Amino acid sequence: MRQTDVTATTPQARTAASQRWDSLDVARGLAIGAMIVYHFSWDLSFLQLIGTNILQVPAWRWFARGIAGSFLMLAGFGLALAHIQGFRRIPFLKRLLRIGGAALAVTLGTYFAFPESYIFFGILHCIAVSSVLALPFLRLHPALTLAAAAFFLIGPWLFTSPALDAPWLDWLGLGAREPVTNDYVPIFPWFGLVLIGTAGGKLMLARRESLGLARWRADNPVFRLLTWAGRKSLPIYLTHQIVLLGILFGVAQIVGPSPAAACRQICLMQNGDPGLCPSVCSCILQQVPERGLWQRLLANKAEAEDNTRVSRAAQQCMRQTPPS
């Protein structure tokens, strides 16, 4: 039996489907929670409170990409949901101005905080531009939208070229080099995920079962907290790093860098071989684990005895470490 098309049935059904969904806010709240976990770990690494550089760990990189992808698909789904009864120009423009203004604030803030790697086209920039680019797809069949999504997802493998390395084209994501920035979410391939969310939203809204999901309400403290976080996702995004970095910077001033981070930094300054330092430092730290000693070494305030202990441990470890 053919499924009833909710988007083409009664006005009451369309109105119910267009209401704010707690389930969508819960999903967005989960993404916000995952983002906070990632940024907390990034901050620990950046401030050298832990020895791991999470940017060099593939699992952490994929975790970050998964978080970005979830936000973009939810943005596409939300776009389909918001305009199920036709394009609503004023709400769309208000949302676009809000996200665009937040993206500009992120650019300005990171330009002063991290001038060498400021964010010029991060997740908020991508959501703002993608929201405009996705508008024509609200009228297209989901199959065509998914075909366009595939085009953007595979685009970097087809069209990447050094000719597109100009800084003013970096937002496309088709240059041969990746720019130095703390958050880079270009149109290729990420707009493809927005289109997947848009197509998925239209397909789900065309099914009677979606009304049940639309009417679901968060009914326990965990879901209510996630719903609140999902509805406040933009202010949380804009403020959480200020809070985290502020707290952890204070902690870093008290406890200093982790021995592993300090050892690798000293090793790189003296040896310059990033491939050798992790294994050598792992060995050295088994013999010289004291945090205070490594703080003194990094600050050039070490005693002669400190230097002797580390030098002997380093020589022993270098003999044990096979050449790369």
pLDDT bucket at 99, cuts 50 / 70 / 90: very high
SS3 121: strand
pLDDT bucket at 45, cuts 50 / 70 / 90: very high
* pLDDT given at position 307: 79
* pLDDT given at position 165: 93
Structure tokens at 78: 């939300």
Tell me how far apart the alpha carbons of residues 120 and 173 are, in angstroms, rounded to a whole number.
12
**How confident is the model over 142-194, as pLDDT tens digits?**
999 999 999 999 999 999 999 999 999 999 999 999 999 999 999 999 999 99
Distances from the Cα of 322 to the Cα of 131, 279, 317, 319, angstroms: 53, 10, 10, 8
Burial of 125-157, coded b for 16+ CB within 10 Å and e otherwise, reads bbbbbbbeebeebbebebeebbebbeebbebee
More confident residue, 132 or 257: 132
* pLDDT given at position 5: 47
**How confident is the model over 1-31, as pLDDT tens digits?**
344 444 444 555 555 555 678 999 999 999 9
Tell me how far apart the alpha carbons of residues 122 and 88 are, in angstroms, rounded to a whole number.
26
In terms of Cα–Cα distance, which of 179, 28, 170, 177 is closest to 117?
Answer: 179
For residue 300, pLDDT beyond 60: yes
> What is the reported pTM?
0.85
